[in-house]
Amino acid sequence: MHHQKCKMKIKIIRAHNGDSFLLSFVDDEGVKRNILIDGGMPKTYYGSGKQGELYKTIEEIRAKKEQIDLLILTHIDGDHIGGLKKWFEKDRNACDIISKVWFNSGRSIAKYFGKQENNELIEKLQIFKSLKTSVKQAIVFEDFIEKNKIWDRAIIKASSMSIQNGVEITILSPNDSSLEKLLKEYKKPKHDYRTSAKTKDWNTSIEELEFIKASSAS
């Protein structure tokens, strides 16, 4: 991604073994824009009675009366979609600050290839039935974002390019082959997303990580 006239701020959100990034910039018309990529684990938003960093990041955007102009969900493993699901389940007004969602759902991939949907790719939310009750119902994730009119249903794939609020985005993956393989072979992971690393480096700066990488290579 690049922008001709201004700098882009990249915030790495503490995601608890997963991924979550916020890209912030000012567009050509002086409007502050935000792109959120993935949401980490459920506790990235909220867990064990504590507000996670994703929660705080979203509330900062809301307080500044800004939008999440583009939400990109790369895939449905729990360490990427978990925080987003928790957000949608706990915040009834979540969709009010989201302009657009990029998400290759199992249903849209199946339609793209004219093949049967893989039920393993169906992801559900526990959403309140209405604002007047505390009763919850299970709703398919893609039905939720479609109902709220924030989902761009186009297949996002490699070699395509998109201009979003003055920022050029080039898609590196997936390609048709990997999409078809996902549709055919995907099964929900059984593990709990714990990494094998003995130390945590989420609070290490990019400069420090680059130095460590260079030192280990020499």
Q: So what's the pLDDT on residue 3?
A: 41
Rounded to an integer, the average pLDDT of 174-195 is 83
Domain boundaries, the chain: 9-188
Contact between residue 45 and residue 10 where contact means Cβ atoms under 8 Å apart:
no
Q: What's the token pair of residue 63?
A: 């307080």
Task: Report the distance separating Cα 177 and Cα 121, nearest Å.
Answer: 17
pLDDT band of residue 194 (cuts 50, 70, 90) is very low
Higher pLDDT, 7 or 42: 42
First-residue to last-residue Cα distance in the chain = 30
pLDDT band of residue 209 (cuts 50, 70, 90) is low
pTM of the entire predicted model: 0.84
pLDDT beyond 80 at 132:
no
pLDDT band of residue 192 (cuts 50, 70, 90) is low
Rounded to an integer, the average pLDDT of 133-146 is 90
Task: Report the distance separating Cα 2 and Cα 164, nearest Å.
Answer: 11
Contact between residue 21 and residue 38 where contact means Cβ atoms under 8 Å apart:
yes
Q: Which residues pair with 162 in a beta bridge?
A: 169
- The tens digit of pLDDT for each residue in 43-71 reads 999 999 999 999 999 999 999 999 999 99
How are the residues of the chain apportioned to helix, strand and coil, as percentages rounded to the nearest 5? Answer: 35, 25, 45
**What are the backbone angles phi and psi of residue 46, rounded to the nearest 5°?**
-160, 135
Cis peptide leading into residue 189 (ω within 30°): no
